[in-house]
Chain A
Amino acid sequence: MAKKLAVVGIFAYLNELVSAIEDLRRQKVSIDAVYSPLRSEQIREALGEPILGPGRFFTLTGAVLGLLTGMFLAWYTETQWMFDIGGKPAIGIVPVVIPAFEFFILIAVLFTLGGFLFLNRIPSMRLPAHYDKRFSQDRFGILVYCTEANCESVSRILKNLGAEEVSRIEE
């Protein structure tokens, strides 16, 4: 397949990055990814994205499933022998609350984690070529995919917006 061209602008300061993002969006340059060593509300707002992602639907499914699992397990096993213990009814209503609740939490959490991994397509052992080690430490980055045609302009824009350095990457 054809090589993909990308421009990566690297920033040192959050406020500069944020303003850069805002400008780019104003100039209708499509931002493909923003890298940052920390979670920042400002970046999210700059990109105009919602607080909660689709991950929560995984959690909901997990929660419902968990609840059912707990209740089923308790009741099914009780029906197997119908033991009379301490005069209590063999099929307990009150005691089932606890397994139900715990399984509800457990499976909800597992699903949440699963959703998180799935939505990020991780675990993935290989990092993209444009990834810069500093992204996880002290630098921010803006990735823009471009064509031969607009590459120059994009990188110029990034420079003007205060990127420490702008690199062209071929993938």
Chain B
Amino acid sequence: MPDLCRRDFLKLFGIAGSGAVLYGCGEPATRYLIPYINPPEDVVPGKAVYYATTCRECPAGCGMLAKNREGRIVKVEGNPSHPVSRGKLCLRGQASLHGLYNPDRFWGPMQRNVYGALDPITWERGEAILAEKLSAAMAKGGGGRIVIVTGLVTGAIKDLTEMWLSEMGQENGHIMYEPWSYESLKKANQVVFGRDAVPQYRFDELDFLISFNAGFLETWISNLEFARQYASFHPISGESKNVFVFVGPRLSMTANNADLWIATRPGTEYAVGLGIIRAILDKKLAPDQPAERRAAIESMVSAWPVERAAATAGCDPKLIESVARLFAGAARPLAIAEGLPQCVPNATETAVAANLLCTLKPASLSAIDFSCESSRTYVARADAIKALADRMRSREIDVLIFQGVNPVFSLPKAWDFAAAIKSVPFVATFSPAIDETSALAHLVLPSHYSFESWGDYSPGKGVTGFLQPVMGPVFNTKHTGDILISTGKKIKGEESFPFRDFYDALQGYWTRISAEAGIKSFDDFWQNSIMQGGYWPEQTAKAPELSLPAPSFNFPESEQETGTGLPLVVYPTVQFYDGRMANHLWVQEFPDPMTQVTWGGWLEIHPETAGKLGLKKGDLLRVKTDYGAIEIPALPIYTVPEGVAAIPVGQGHWNFGRFATGLPANPFELLGPDLDLVSGATLRPGLNLKIEKTGKTFDIANTDGSFFLHGREEDFVPVISLEERNRMAASGEKPYIDYPLPAGYQESKDFYPRHTYSDYRWAMVVDLDRCIGCGACVAACYSENNVALVKRDQMLRGREMSWIRVQRYFNEDAKGARWLVMLCQHCDNAPCEYVCPIFAPHHSEEGLNNQVYNRCFGTRFCSQNDPYKVRRFNWYTFTRPEPLKWQLNPDVTVRQKGVMEKCSFCVHRIIEAKLEATMKGRKVRDGDFTTACAQTCPTEALIFGSLVDPESRVSKLINDVRAYQVLQHLNTKPAVIYLKRVIEELRV
């Protein structure tokens, strides 16, 4: 078990007491190297120290290990012992450091002057102003004059905030706002399961999964956790492979992992669900149903014979029937639905349909666990926010405080939340960085970023991750809790807030909790929890039986094609979540998994439709709904069915720092103002886009050279059918591989002598049956190897610097796509090596294709002669603004202009591991270490090791019948060996 091996050489530290906050930072622009007079504990120059903390980039709350070098945190990895992340991180988690080092964070407290500009002030002054405003508000009397809007928070900080408000005499003044608040899902759960909550799902126990537009591998609830579960559900295991069906209007990253994508007209997914239910009931495939439930369900679906469902959804009725058969035939099938009101119409209906479908198979209901429900359950519903807005407009609120939320961006433009804020007399923001909402604040009291903070966050019942300051504050910021406490003390006096600081409050809170949990020694508990990164007592094994109320719900008649224009799909992406990631430089630089587009949003439209409308790639369109209009470039691509338009969420910021501002476009501006009275969510009618060309163009910075493989499937991404795979395995066939080993020598075709390796032959196996295309490996590589960031203009000139990329190729029928993780193949016969006139690239004794930056003078012949095109050239000396360069990994050279670079298999990690091993007096063992990309891969699709060791995982895997090499006919003998994706023919 590699995690265990990792853990024994990872040194996890917990900081005892907030006194020991780390050194080395202070003013960002420091130019001097000052030796430590008295070195801080744990900080050994040249030695990395890992601190456990929790990722707060999204509410999933994954456990992280922050790698600290000389007081600066340079890399984050998943916390192996954390139940949510299990040692992995997604793309957003890997990119979180660019939130910490974001050059557009507030440098310190500021106050808006009469001209509307922000003047820097001291913390004393800032807190004094706030205290004064608060007292004034309180003096007016009444319980609702002070409101704090935060993102989803739990535990001590939530406790403190509510205590603080109640001390101020305010009721329910704490509003937790999240754009993705799953009202529809909660409503559906209430309808079907009698629980108005977001449950925990367990995919790993399933044998069939149908997702109604739920992008559970991208952003849905807890994507990393789901990706891990998915990895034990979907990829081939033994002889069999479970089926995953996706029903939705867009070929999302998640959809592209499905064995079958049922493309629907946006908002008609529920019809497919009902069709399936109807088919199951008609065919009597769900026997064990209590009569009255059966009657109730039948009455609901009576109006939905398969044909009608199919007609409504615009799909083939045979598909629905076969899926129904598969679902009924499976032992533990599960149906899930996205339940996000903003994205497509009828989210609630779809979610209800999915839940009803689940109830037909009581066996798998235990995969839906409400006993450890997700904390998202407590997020404020849209109607609550609407109510808040109304109170703001009617001047019932005197003091409004924002912390880490950006409703001005993420609420429908039609709400005009900005105007509502302007009507509040005093607005303060605790957000760490500028955003559209903070821009309206009168007072800026920037709080710490999560990496600088103490805290706790619990993504769901039974799991709490702790946060500890893994480095000193980068800017002149303060912990939210400390701001509250000190202002509170100013107003209500010391005694009412009996803690030194928030750390004190945190400990107090957990003393209570641990006492309740019956833990004897708090100090041990505390030290251990901080060190391991959280507190997660053993779970009760099984989820309690769900009591199913008799469901009743009326589904809408399928509305006729209303008006002209293209139905709109709004969707969250794995990189931007709800848009909060857009100010992370890395996230802008990473290509979107499906469209491979960077730096700016786009409107997806099927090439056929685009042709009909005469739209070309990059045409800047003016897109109108009845509620708003945006300008966004067209991107003809096969990810949407004909006649449908899709726009990703996340771009279109107008005041979100230098990296996000000014890129098109924000689909929230197209949504309507009304509320859905059923679910309390924003009402999402079927929005039909009116599209007109502006005549301008906004070039799309995509990194893919072509949509297709042009008949080269066998060279790049061959697939294998399950039958074929099993046949080969049974008959003991070996894959045809040119091993990058002495064994790989064949007299018949080898012109050059055989290679011999004594100690190691580093190699990687990429299991394309596990790869979900999420791009976490790319993010990990960027942060581990100081890969340069080229920004939009260079991206447009094809000069991205990524060392590893997830290449997307559409199948010939353009109904789906394949991914290929492409990195330096470290070939035995590397074509790039011999063309260099000065040996800058050459082969190492351990099989690495070394690239000596200092020796390279940039003829670029190596890249020209590299069939995999994984070598990157430094066209300029690419730099990054302060303090982003603090993140640079000191173990890896920063490259100068005119130098070629490429994947090094994390050679510095190899060296470190070899040193460790030598100190232990042994060779490096399999699993001692791994590369940054393999380390973070949520599905463990990347496996790294030495082929010299016959027991290593790679040595075993390269003999799998699915093994192949890219462009094998060139006889380069790559050391990156791929395992084919296994496809199942679903009988339709």
A and B: direct contact (Cβ < 8 Å)?
yes
Residues of A within 8 A of B (CB): 81, 83-89
Inter-subunit contact A87/B755 (CB<8 Å): yes
Total A-B pairs in contact (CB under 8 Å)? 36
B28 contacts across to A, CB distance below 8 A:
none
| Chain B, residue nearest A83 (CB) | B842
- Determine which residue in A84, A87, A89 has the highest number of CB atoms from chain B within 10 A of its CB, and name it: A87
B514: chain A residues at CB < 8 Å are none
Majority secondary structure of chain B interface residues (helix, strand, loop or mixed): loop
B839 engages A84 (CB within 8 Å): no
Proximity string of chain B (680-719) to chain A, C-beta cutoff 8 Å, 1 when within and 0 when not: 0000000000000000000000000000000000000000
Query: Are B839 and A89 in contact, with the CB atoms below 8 A?
Result: no
Q: Report whether B753 and A86 are in contact in the complex, using a CB–CB cutoff of 8 Å.
A: no
Kindly state whether residue B830 has any CB partner on chain A within 8 Å: yes
CB-defined A-B contacts under 8 Å, sample of 23? A81-B839, A83-B842, A83-B843, A84-B755, A84-B842, A84-B843, A85-B833, A85-B836, A85-B839, A85-B841, A85-B842, A85-B843, A86-B752, A86-B831, A86-B832, A86-B834, A86-B835, A86-B843, A87-B752, A87-B753, A87-B755, A87-B830, A88-B752
Is the CB of B558 closer than 8 A to any CB of chain A? no
A84 to B839, CA, bound (A): 10
A-side contacts of B839, CB under 8 Å: 81, 83, 85
- How far apart are A96's CB and chain B's nearest CB, in angstroms? 14
Which B residues lie at the A interface, using CB under 8 A? 752-753, 755, 828-836, 839, 841-843, 973
By the criterion CB–CB under 8 Å, are B828 and A87 in contact?
yes
* Contact status B753-A89, CB under 8 Å: yes
| CB nearest neighbor in B for A87 | B829
Question: What's the Cα separation between A151 and B470 when bound, in Å?
Answer: 110
Which residues from B are CB-within-8-Å of A86?
752, 829-835, 843
Please indicate the chain A residues that have their CB under 8 angstroms from the CB of B832 in the complex. 86
A84, B761: Cα distance in complex, Å: 14
Query: Nearest CB to that of A95 among chain B residues?
Result: B834
The answer for the CA separation of A85 and B753 in the assembled complex, in Å, is 12
Cα–Cα distance between A84 and B841 once the two chains are bound (Å): 10
Q: Among B830, B832, B834, B835, which residue has the most Cβ atoms of chain A within 10 A?
A: B834
- Check B752 against A85 for contact (C-beta < 8 Å): no
In the assembled complex, the CB of B395 is this many whole angstroms from the nearest CB of chain A, namely 76
Q: Which residue of B lies closest to A81 (CB)?
A: B839
Residues in B whose Cβ lies below 8 Å from that of A88: 752, 834
* Distance from A92 Cβ to chain B, minimum over Cβ atoms (Å): 9
A84 to B833, CA, bound (A): 9
Instruction: Write out the residue numbers on chain A whose beta carbons fall within 8 Å of the beta carbon of B752.
Output: 86-89
Min CB–CB distance A38 → chain B (angstroms):
46
Chain B proximity of A57: nearest CB distance (Å): 36
CA–CA, A36 and B828, complex, Å: 67
Residues in B whose Cβ lies below 8 Å from that of A84: 755, 842-843
Min CB gap B967→A, angstroms: 15
A165 and B97 alpha carbons, distance in the complex (Å): 99
- Which among A81, A84, A86 has the highest number of chain B CB atoms within 10 Å? A86
How long is the Cα–Cα vector from A25 to B836 in the complex, in angstroms? 65
Bound-state CA distance A83–B844 (Å) is 9
How far apart are the CA atoms of A89 and B831 in the complex, in Å? 14
* Distance, CA A87 to CA B970, complexed state (A): 13
Report the nearest A residue to B973, measured CB to CB.
Answer: A87
CB distance from B780 to the nearest CB of A (A): 29
Nearest CB in chain B: distance from A91 CB, A: 11
Complex: A83 Cα to B842 Cα, angstroms? 7
Other contacts beyond A81-B839, A87-B828: 14, CB < 8 A: A83-B842, A83-B843, A84-B755, A85-B843, A86-B752, A86-B830, A86-B832, A86-B833, A86-B835, A87-B752, A87-B753, A87-B830, A87-B843, A89-B753
B848 to chain A, nearest CB (A): 11
Closest B residue by C-beta to A84: B843
A86 to B740, alpha carbons, bound, how many Å? 12
Closest CB in chain A relative to B740 CB, distance in Å? 10
Q: CB-nearest residue of chain B relative to A92?
A: B834
Ranked 9 nearest A-B pairs via Cβ: A87-B829, A86-B834, A85-B833, A84-B843, A86-B833, A85-B834, A87-B752, A83-B842, A85-B842
CB distance from B411 to the nearest CB of A (A): 58
A134 to chain B, nearest CB (A): 54
State A85–B828 Cα separation when bound (angstroms).
9
Bound CA–CA A88/B832 (angstroms)? 12
Q: Which residues does chain A contribute within 8 Å of B833, judged by CB atoms?
A: 85-86
**How far apart are the CA atoms of A84 and B756 in the complex, in Å?**
11
A64 to B831, CA, bound (A): 34
A26 to B835, CA, bound (A): 68
A64 to chain B, nearest CB (A): 27
Alpha-carbon separation in the docked complex, A88 to B755 (Å): 10
List of A residues within 8 angstroms of B834 by Cβ: 85-86, 88
Give the docked Cα–Cα distance between A88 and B831 (Å): 10
Chain B hits for A87, CB < 8 A = 752-753, 755, 828-830, 843, 973
Measured in the bound complex, the distance between the Cα atoms of B959 and A150 in whole Å is 103
- Which A residue's beta carbon lies closest to that of B834? A86
Q: Which of A81, A83, A85, A89 has the largest number of chain B CB atoms within 10 A?
A: A85
B957 to chain A, nearest CB (A): 23
Instruction: Give the distance to chain B from A80, nearest Cβ to Cβ, in Å.
Output: 10
Bound-state CA distance A88–B833 (Å) is: 10
CA distance A89 to B753 in the complex (A): 7
Contacts of A85 in B (CB 8 A): 830, 833-834, 836, 839, 841-843
Alpha-carbon distance A87/B827, docked complex (angstroms)? 9
The complex places the Cα of A86 from the Cα of B753 at a distance, in Å, of: 11
Q: Which residue of A lies closest to B865 (CB)?
A: A86
CA distance A85 to B832 in the complex (A): 9
- Docked Cα-Cα span, A85 to B972, in Å, equals 12
Across-interface contacts of B828 in A (CB, < 8 A): 87
Q: Which residues of A contact B835 (CB under 8 A)?
A: 86
In angstroms, Cα B84 to Cα A40, docked, is 97
Please give the distance in Å from A75's CB to the nearest CB on chain B.
Answer: 16
What's the Cα separation between A88 and B754 when bound, in Å? 9
- Complex CA gap A115/B830 in Å reads 47
Nearest-neighbor residue (CB-CB) of A86 within chain B? B834
A88 and B843 alpha carbons, distance in the complex (Å): 10
Nearest A residue to B753, CB-CB = A89
With a cutoff of 8 Å between Cβ atoms, the chain A residues found around residue B842 in the complex are: 83-85
Cα–Cα distance between A81 and B840 once the two chains are bound (Å)? 13
Residues of B within 8 A of A89 (CB): 752-753
Chain A proximity of B85: nearest CB distance (Å): 40
What A residues does B973 contact at CB under 8 A?
87
Residues of A within 8 A of B836 (CB): 85
A83 to B752, CA, bound (A): 14
| Residue of A with least CB distance to B847 | A84
Residues of A within 8 A of B841 (CB): 85
- Assembled-state Cα–Cα distance A88/B753 (Å): 7
* B843: chain A residues within 8 A (beta carbon): 83-87
A83, A84, A88, A89 — which one has the most chain B CB atoms within 10 A of its CB? Answer: A84
- Name the distance in Å between B756's Cβ and chain A's nearest Cβ: 10
- Complex Cα–Cα for A83 and B836 (A): 12
A41 to B63 CA separation, bound complex (whole angstroms)? 96
A17 to B753, CA, bound (A): 70
B750 to chain A, nearest CB (A): 8
A139, B836: Cα distance in complex, Å: 59
Instruction: Give Cα distance in the complex from A87 to B839, angstroms.
Output: 13
Minimal beta-carbon separation of A79 from chain B (angstroms): 14
Quote the shortest CB–CB distance from A88 to chain B (angstroms): 5
Of chain A, the residue at the smallest CB distance from B829 is A87
Least Cβ–Cβ distance between B850 and chain A, in angstroms: 10
In the bound complex, how far is the Cα of B834 from the Cα of A89, in angstroms?
A: 11
Kindly state the separation between the CA atoms of A81 and B841 in the bound complex, as whole angstroms: 13
Q: What distance in Å separates the Cβ of B568 from its nearest Cβ neighbour in chain A?
A: 52
A163 to chain B, nearest CB (A): 63
B853 nearest CB across to chain A (Å): 17
From residue B560, how far is it (CB to closest CB) to chain A in Å? 65
Expressed in whole angstroms, the minimum distance between the Cβ of A29 and any Cβ of chain B is 63
Give the distance in Å from the alpha carbon of A136 to the alpha carbon of B629 in the complex.
90
Question: For B755, what are the chain A residues with a Cβ–Cβ distance below 8 Å?
Answer: 84, 87
**Whole-angstrom CA separation of A86 from B973 in the bound complex:** 10
